Chains A and B, each alone.
Chain A
Amino acid sequence: MSKTDNSEDACPLPIGQYDKIVMAHGGGGQLTQSLIDKLMLAEFDNPALNEKNDSAVLAINNERMAFTTDSYVVKPLFFPGGDIGKLAVCGTLNDLAMSGARPLFLSCGLIIEEGFAIDSLQKIIHSMSRQAKAAGVNIVTGDTKVVEKGKGDGLYINTSGIGVLDTAMNISPSMLQHDDVVIINGDIGRHGIAIMAQREGFKLEQALESDCADLSGLVKLLLDGGIDIHCMRDLTRGGLATALIEISTAANKQIMLDETAIAIADPVRSVCEVLGLDPYYVANEGRFISVLPSAQAAQALAIMHAHPLGKKAVVIGKVDKGSQSMVTIKNRIGTTRILQLLSGSQLPRIC
Chain B
Amino acid sequence: MKYIDEFRHQQHVELLATAIRNACTRPWTIMELCGGQTHAIMKYGIDQLLPNDITLIHGPGCPVCVTPLQAIDKAIGIAALGDVIFCTFGDMLRVPGSTKDLMTVKAEGGDVRTVYSPLEAVTLAQQHPDKQVVFFAIGFETTMPTTAMSVYQAQQMGLKNFKLLVSHVRVPPAMEAILSSAENKVQGFLAAGNVCVVMGYQEYLPIAEKYQVPIVVTGFEPVDILQGILRCITQLEQSQVTVENQYARAVQTSGNTTAQQMINRVFKPVTRSWRGLGDIAMSGFELSADYTDFDAENAFQIAHINTQEHQECLSGKVLQGIIKPSQCPEFASRCTPESPLGATMVSAEGACAAYYTYRRQQSITENNSQ
Contact = CB atoms under 8 A, between A and B. Distances in A.
A45 to B, nearest CB: 22
Given A9-B314, A335-B48, A273 B349 contact: no
Given A21-B107, A322-B367, A332-B8, A1 B277 contact: yes
B308 interface: yes
A1 B181 contact: yes
A12 B45 CA distance: 29
Interface string A290-324: 00000000000000000000000000000011101
Interface in A220-273: 254, 269-270, 273
Residue of A2, A8, A24, A275 with most partner-chain B CB within 10 A: A8
Given A331-B45, A351-B91, A13 B279 contact: no
Chain B interface category by residue count: 35 or more
Nearest to A340: B357
Contacts of B273: 2, 8
B103 A12 contact: no
- Overall SS of chain B's interface: mixed
Interface string A1-27: 110101111111111101011111000
Contact of A351 (B181, B349, B360): B349
Contact of B368 (A8, A22, A321, A340): A321
B309 A10 contact: yes
Interface string B1-18: 100100010100110000
Nearest to A14: B339
B14 A334 contact: yes
Contacts of B249: none
Interface stretch (B92-100, B205-213, B294-302): B92-100
A6 B90 CA distance: 29
Contact of A11 (B44, B313, B337, B349): B313
B277 A12 contact: no
A15 B100 contact: yes
A30 B100 CA distance: 18
Nearest to B344: A11
Contacts of B82: none
A24 B103 CA distance: 8
A129 to B, nearest CB: 36
B275 interface: yes
Contacts of B326: none
A269 B4 CA distance: 12
Contacts of A337: 42-45
Contact of B310 (A11, A16, A30, A333): A11
Contact of B4 (A18, A273, A350): A273
Contacts of A320: 368
A324 to B, nearest CB: 5
B114 A334 contact: no
A344 B348 CA distance: 12
Contacts of B101: 15
Majority SS of interface residues in chain A? Answer: loop
B106 interface: yes
B27 to A, nearest CB: 22
A344 B95 CA distance: 13
A285 B249 CA distance: 39
A10 B307 contact: yes
Interface in A150-181: none
A146 B99 CA distance: 37
B44 A335 contact: yes
B222 A333 contact: yes
Contact of B139 (A24, A275, A351): A351
B181 A343 contact: no
A348 B114 CA distance: 8
A22 B106 contact: yes
Nearest to A346: B90
B94 A344 contact: yes
B49 interface: yes
Interface in A44-62: none
B46 interface: yes
Contact of A349 (B90, B181, B312): B90
Contacts of B222: 333
Nearest to A326: B364
Contact of B315 (A1, A9, A269): A9
B364 A254 contact: yes
A22 B103 contact: yes
Contacts of A21: 107
Contacts of B367: 322, 324
Interface string B337-353: 11111110010110000
Nearest to A337: B45
Given A321-B368, A331-B44, A11 B341 contact: yes
Greatest chain A CB density within 10 A among B13, B64, B90, B338 is at B90
B114 A347 contact: yes
A18 B317 CA distance: 28
Contacts of A328: 361
Given A12-B310, A15-B100, A338 B360 contact: yes
B91 A20 contact: no
Interface string B28-62: 00000001100100111110110000000000001
B234 interface: no
B275 to A, nearest CB: 5
B116 A200 contact: yes
A200 B117 CA distance: 12
A11 to B, nearest CB: 3
A336 interface: yes
Interface string B89-126: 11101111111110110111000001010000000000
Interface string A188-216: 00000000000010000000000000000
11 contacts: A1-B277, A9-B315, A9-B316, A10-B310, A11-B309, A20-B108, A23-B103, A334-B49, A348-B89, A348-B116, A351-B91
Instruction: State the 10 A-B residue pairs at the shortest beta-carbon distance, nearest first.
Output: A335-B45, A347-B90, A11-B313, A12-B96, A2-B278, A8-B278, A16-B339, A11-B310, A11-B342, A333-B13
Interface of B: 1, 4, 8, 10, 13-14, 35-36, 39, 42-46, 48-49, 62-64, 68-69, 72, 89-91, 93-101, 103-104, 106-108, 114, 116, 139, 143, 177, 180-181, 222, 273-281, 307-317, 337-343, 346, 348-349, 357, 360-361, 364, 367-368
Given A8-B274, A340-B348, 17 more contacts: A7-B278, A8-B277, A11-B341, A11-B342, A11-B343, A200-B116, A275-B116, A322-B364, A328-B361, A332-B8, A333-B14, A340-B357, A344-B94, A347-B90, A347-B91, A348-B90, A349-B89
